[in-house]
């Protein structure tokens, strides 16, 4: 089980309580594949709080998302593109936005993960919009199940975001789902990137919310179509996040 510093225990307990209530509210066929998530150690001790929102877990029934990936991130090897991009983008945004090519490899971050910013560390929060593990043996998103899950889960999704209190949310190509988009009450601001790669919004409380290409999307360059448009949005004169 993932270990947290003493001043993050209350937040961890709040997330655990939310996950228990969320799971109990689901129909039986969704409940049995529920995968809780949340934040990694020292998330609250970074320069800024980053929350990534993915679509769904794959082959993880019976697991806790954070408990599975915390030790993997700490090792830094054996990671697919999805998780490498999360680490690289988080590192860049938390370390004064260097050029994409200057961000260290995931293996070089291994000793930093889960440590405070003062220790030169790296951490973030992660949640899946659909917390029911996809057990179909393939990676395409199960949109029909996503719709069912979101239909009963938007109050819980809003509560998880409220508990985590992120400064920036990076959502992975989910805003085409009307239930998700309208349920979060997003206010559209503008697009960035040569192909409109990133859409910047604000949540009702003012939190910056970016919807980007999914980190597993083939044919999308991690630097020019994800990281750089994110940076462009956050450095826009109307935003000036830094």
218-230 burial, b for 16+ CB within 10 Å, e for fewer?
eebebbebbbbbb
pTM higher than 0.85, yes or no? yes
Q: How far apart are CA 83 and CA 42, in angstroms?
A: 18
Helix (H) or strand (E) segment spanning residue 225: none
* Structural domain boundaries, residue 43: 6-234
Q: Residue 205 falls within a domain, yes or no?
A: yes
pLDDT at 228 over 90: yes
> Does residue 239 lie in a domain region?
no
Note whether residue 240 is domain-resident. no
Structural domain includes residue 163 = yes
Residue 205 has pLDDT above 90, yes or no: yes
Residue 1 lies in a domain: no
Summarize the confidence of residues 10-35 as an average pLDDT: 97
Q: Which helix (H) or strand (E) holds 51?
A: strand 50-54
- 42-97: pLDDT as tens digits: 999 999 999 999 999 999 999 999 999 999 999 998 899 999 999 999 999 999 99
How does residue 242 score in pLDDT terms, banded at 50, 70 and 90? low
Residue 54 resides in a domain: yes
- 23 within domain boundaries: yes
134-149 pLDDT, tens digit per residue, is 998 776 888 899 999 9
**What is the CATH number for 162?**
3.40.470.10
Q: How many domains does the chain contain in total?
A: 1
Q: Is residue 40 part of a domain?
A: yes
């Amino acid at each position: 089980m993932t270990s947290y510093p003493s001043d993050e225990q209350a937040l961890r307990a709040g997330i655990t309580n939310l996950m228990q209530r969320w799971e109990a509210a689901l129909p039986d066929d969704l409940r049995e594949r529920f995968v809780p998530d949340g934040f990694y150690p020292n998330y609250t001790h970074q320069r800024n709080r980053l929350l990534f929102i993915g679509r769904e877990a794959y082959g993880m029934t019976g697991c806790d998302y954070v408990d599975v990936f915390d030790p993997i991130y700490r090792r830094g090897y054996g990671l697919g593109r999805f998780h490498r991009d999360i680490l690289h983008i988080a590192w860049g945004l938390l370390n004064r936005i260097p050029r994409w090519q200057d961000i260290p490899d995931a293996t070089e971050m291994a000793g930093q993960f889960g440590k405070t910013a003062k220790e030169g560390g790296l951490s973030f929060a992660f949640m899946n919009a659909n917390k029911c593990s996809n057990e179909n043996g393939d990676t395409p998103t199960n949109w029909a199940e996503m719709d069912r899950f979101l239909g009963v889960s938007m109050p819980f999704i809003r509560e998880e975001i409220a508990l985590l209190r992120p400064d920036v949310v990076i959502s992975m190509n989910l805003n085409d789902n009307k239930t998700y988009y309208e349920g979060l009450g997003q206010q559209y601001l503008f697009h960035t990137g040569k192909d409109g790669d990133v859409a910047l919004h604000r949540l009702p409380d003012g939190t910056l919310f970016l919807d980007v290409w999914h980190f597993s999307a083939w044919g999308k360059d991690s630097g020019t179509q994800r990281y750089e448009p994110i940076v462009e949005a956050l450095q826009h004169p109307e935003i000036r996040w830094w």
